[in-house]
Amino acid sequence: MLTELKREAYEANLALPRHGLINLTFGNASALDRREGIFAIKPSGVDYAVLKPKDMVLVDLAGKQVEGKLNPSSDTPTHRRLYLGFTQISGIVHTHSSHATAFAQAGRPVPIFGTTHADYFFGEIPVTRKLTPREISGGAYEWETGNVIVERFKSLDPLDCPGVLVNRHAPFTWGDTVAKAVEVAVAAECCAHMALMSLALAPKLRAIEPGLLAKHFQRKHGPGAYYGQK
């Protein structure tokens, strides 16, 4: 089971540069086995071109490294915080994709203007508050990054909105599998790019109509979903 978990995490990490979501060694993906309480994550700073399935590092939900000779991603505490805070998810992706990161750096959510966005997010892609100087320098920066994400979702369903922009930083996305988290990361970047182009064409453009938003989101999600095959 854990060999398969490492393979899933490996495949997800390789998908990030393939989809143009990262440059250099920015970004990471992890896959969680909830029954075992263990997740596989990319090793820190390893080039994607030389990455192998055996390089994936196994970490438990208490933060202990249980397998792997390499150091896990520096973002491992953020992944762990999200797995603990969002019990419905089993895969997380973090990228620095250009357009979504532009919104994050500006501290602005990605507005929802059309149905492409509504297919994945039941509203705007939210942005967190800025971390405080104490949260940044207190020795648990990555854990605090996870905390501000969980804090932002106090009134949001992480399945209705499977992604977030960390203020001044970049996007995180998630799903019931790491493959789904990759798909959402692709969608988030696409939505951010289209939002910027829409604002260039129509600077005063308003959000999508609620009824159209609900129709497109609910035809793919929830008990009444009918998009795709059984």
Among the listed residues 119, 157, 160, 176, the single catalytic one is 119
CA angle 49, 172, 129 (to 5 degrees): 140
Among the listed residues 157, 160, 176, 227, the single catalytic one is 227
Best CA proximity match to 13, nearest among 162, 178, 176: 178
Residue 162 to residue 167: CA distance in whole angstroms: 17
227 a catalytic residue? yes
Beta bridge partner(s), residue 127: 165
DSSP 37: T
160 a catalytic residue? no
Q: What are the residue ranges of helices labelled H in 19-109? A: 76-85, 98-106
Whether 173 and 180 have beta carbons less than 8 Å apart is answered as no
Residue 1 to residue 24: CA distance in whole angstroms: 30
Residue 67 to residue 60: CA distance in whole angstroms: 10
CA angle 20, 187, 110 (to 5 degrees): 105
Residue 94 to residue 6: CA distance in whole angstroms: 17
Residue 195 to residue 189: CA distance in whole angstroms: 10
Residues annotated as part of the active site: 119, 227
